[in-house]
Homo-oligomer: A and B are copies of this chain.
Amino acid sequence: MDKLTHLDATGAAQMVDVSAKADTVREAVAEGVIAMAPTVIAAIRAGDIRKGDVLGTARIAGIMAAKQTSALIPLCHPLPIASVSVDFEYLETGVRVETCVRTNGKTGVEMEALTAASVALLTIYDMAKALDKGMVIGPVRLLAKSGGKSGDWTAG
């Protein structure tokens, strides 16, 4: 599992061929966290941020970014995304995002779920950075995927 045959002798980058794969329902769930000072969390909760409604804006940014994933990640396949959800939860030390993306396509949507989470967190950073430039993004990681030939996977 920790080694894969090269597709060509030179190791050059390429989009792996998925034309022979079947269209099946595939789902991926990712999560991410942004850590910040308690005063910043309080300001976000109170809507007390100069740029406006933070989590509502970050949700839209995450959803729209999921649809741009194949334009951002060079070797990622374009997929007909069937749904995206982006949900937030306040932590004592920041904000947690959980994203879920579904498609009916030939490859998985792990990258779409991770991209949605990353861009949602970057948007929170952008909106709150006038208060605190020391916010830290991460961990961002895949929680689970299902569908496709390689089968289901859940984070340990």
Measuring CB to CB, which residues of chain A are less than 8 angstroms from any residue of chain B?
Answer: 1-8, 11-20, 25, 32-33, 37, 39-40, 42-43, 47-53, 56-57, 59-61, 63-65, 67-68, 70-87, 102-106, 110-111, 114-115, 118-119, 122-123, 125-127, 129-142, 145, 153, 155-156
* Given A53-B12, A80-B80, A122-B111: A131 touches B74 (CB 8 Å cut-off): no
Point out the residues of chain B lying under 8 angstroms from A14, CB to CB. Answer: 51-52, 59, 63, 83-86
- Each complex incorporates copies of this chain amounting to 6
Say yes or no: A52 contacts B153, CB within 8 Å. no
Say yes or no: A6 contacts B48, CB within 8 Å. yes
Say yes or no: A19 contacts B102, CB within 8 Å. yes
